[in-house]
C-alpha cells in the first residue's frame, strides 16, 4: 500500500517560512523593556517577592521566638526542680536533726530517771 503525499516540497518550505515569520512577528510585537506595562508588571513582581521575603522573615522570627520560649520554659522547669530537690534535702536534714534531738531528750530522760531511782534507793 503506497501513500500519496500531496504536499510538495515547495509547500512544506513555504509553510516553514510562514511559521518563522509569524514567530518573528510575535517576538517583535512584544513591548519594549521600558514600556509602562512591562515596568508595572516588574514592579508588581518585585512587590510580591518583597512581601514573600517579609512573611518568611516574620515566620522565622516567630519560629526563633517559639524556640526561645521553649528553652526558657525548660530552664525554668529545671530550676524549679532543682529548688524542689534542695528544699526536700533541707527538710530531710531538719527532720533528722529534730529526730536526733528527740532521741537525745529520751536518752536524757531515761538517764535522769535512773539517777533519780538510784538516789531514792540509796
d(CA 20, CA 23): 5
- Number of C-beta neighbours around residue 38 at 10 A: 13
More confident residue, 93 or 120: 93
DSSP 27-45: HHHSPPTT-HHHHHHHHHH
pTM over 0.85: no
Coil/strand/helix, residue 80: helix
- pLDDT tens column, 61-95: 999 999 999 999 999 999 999 999 999 999 999 99
The CA-to-CA distance between both ends of the chain, in Å, stands at 150
Amino acid at each position: 500500500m503506497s501513500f500519496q503525499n500531496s504536499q510538495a516540497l515547495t509547500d512544506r518550505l513555504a509553510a516553514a517560512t510562514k511559521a518563522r515569520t509569524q514567530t518573528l512577528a510575535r517576538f517583535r510585537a512584544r513591548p519594549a523593556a521600558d514600556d509602562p506595562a512591562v515596568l508595572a508588571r516588574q514592579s508588581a513582581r518585585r512587590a510580591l517577592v518583597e512581601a514573600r521575603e517579609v512573611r518568611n522573615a516574620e515566620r522565622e522570627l516567630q519560629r526563633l521566638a517559639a524556640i526561645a520560649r521553649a528553652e526558657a520554659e525548660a530552664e525554668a522547669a529545671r530550676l524549679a526542680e532543682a529548688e524542689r530537690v534542695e528544699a526536700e534535702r533541707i527538710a530531710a536534714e531538719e527532720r533528722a536533726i529534730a529526730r536526733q534531738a528527740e532521741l537525745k531528750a529520751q536518752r536524757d530522760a531515761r538517764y535522769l530517771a535512773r539517777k533519780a531511782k538510784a538516789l531514792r534507793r540509796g
